């Protein structure tokens, strides 16, 4: 989806990051390559470790969204980032997403360890 809906994913990138398009394309490509790497036994361990690292690397974007009450919403047909406007469900999702990253990292770490 990084390549099909780049406006959404670029909206998630924090304002302090210098190149939102690069962040989107880089993380999207890494997800695809590492995800495909999980399918083959010879690359499974490295891919699982890579996905765990990728989850940690993009974690600051999740923190940014929660701390700064970021809401991603459509404006003129494009998803845009609005800082300080998240309320209700958007705010809840931003905060719930943070602890959910831990089981994802743990699952990838376990898969990597089992694939050794």
Tell me the domain boundaries of the chain: 6-114
pLDDT of res. 102: 94
Report how far Cα 10 is from the mean position of its chain's Cα atoms.
11
Residues of the chain with pLDDT under 50: none
pLDDT of res. 115: 86
pLDDT of res. 70: 94
Report how far Cα 3 is from the mean position of its chain's Cα atoms.
14
pLDDT of res. 116: 73
pLDDT of res. 106: 96
Please give the DSSP secondary-structure letter assigned to residue 80: E
Tokens of 41: 């036994």
Stated pTM of the model: 0.89
DSSP SS3 for 82? strand
């Amino acid at each position: 989806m990084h390549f099909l809906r780049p406006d959404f994913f670029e909206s998630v990138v924090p304002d302090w990051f210098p190149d939102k398009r690069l962040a989107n394309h880089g993380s999207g490509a890494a997800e695809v390559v590492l995800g495909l790497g999980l399918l083959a036994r010879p690359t499974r361990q490295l891919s699982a470790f890579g996905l765990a690292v990728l989850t940690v690397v993009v974690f600051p974007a999740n923190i940014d969204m929660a701390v700064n009450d970021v809401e991603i919403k459509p404006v003129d047909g494009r998803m845009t980032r609005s800082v300080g406007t998240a309320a209700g469900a958007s705010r809840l999702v931003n905060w719930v997403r943070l602890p959910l990253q831990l089981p994802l990292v743990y699952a990838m770490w376990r898969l990597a360890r089992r694939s050794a």
